Amino acid sequence: MALPHAILVSLSEQSGSGYELASRFDRSIGHFWSATHQQIYRTLRTMEDDGWVHVTPVTQQGRPDKKVYTVAESGRAELARWIAEPLTGDGSAATDSRTRDLAVKLRGAVYGDVSALHQQIVALRAERAALLDVYRGYEKRQFPEPGALRGAALHQHLVLRGGIRAEESSLDWLDEVLAALEGDQ
């Protein structure tokens, strides 16, 4: 997983407390990932133990005290290492940890190696395109006449259509990302 790395990206942009991180998550990468405050608090503690972040307790008047977290040197190094590392996880669209990880890496790309990231996107694009071909093959074989479908067969086809649409959309996005990165050199 990449929750610690997602936190590193967010803290790199702006130091903050666990509470702030939880609300920021909803606004920034919320479309790919949401994390509850419990997850974030627990993760922050292990990150502190690993030396990836520093903590500064801040006393406030009129509000509860808070702990402001800042990225440590080893956290910066870890983030850069992770961004350059190939995407892991299996290729099935189901859990889709890779797209999620990619979104996090992209958001933190300025803290890592953009060209290494570019390569990962090209690789992911190829895998996604292959999967889309598989789904389209299923469609051709199992539903040669989509207009005539009724009942259970219709429903099955619709589910497959969802898979195809999701892959197409994913591919389109990856192409947009690649084009934008290439135009930004």
Does position 55 interact with a copy of itself (CB under 8 A)? The reply is no
CA distances from 80 to 73, 88, 108 (A): 11, 16, 9
167 touching a copy of itself, by CB under 8 A = yes
| Residue ranges in 95-124 that form contacts with a copy of itself under rule CB under 8 A | 95, 99, 103, 106-107, 109-110
Instruction: Based on the shown chain and the rule CB under 8 A, indicate whether residue 129 belongs to the binding site for a copy of itself.
Output: no
List CB contacts of 31: < 8 A, sequence separation 6 or more.
none
For the CA atoms of 98, 180, 110, 23, what is the dihedral angle to 10 degrees?
Answer: -60
DSSP, collapsed to helix, strand or coil, labels residue 50 as coil
* Cβ nearer to a copy of itself, comparing 54 with 161: 161
Residues in the chain: 185
Residues in binding contact with a copy of itself, number by CB under 8 A: 48
Q: Measured from the CB atom, is 66 or 161 closer to a copy of itself? A: 161
- Assess 162 for contact with a copy of itself (CB under 8 A): yes
Q: Is 94 in the site for a copy of itself (CB under 8 A)?
A: yes
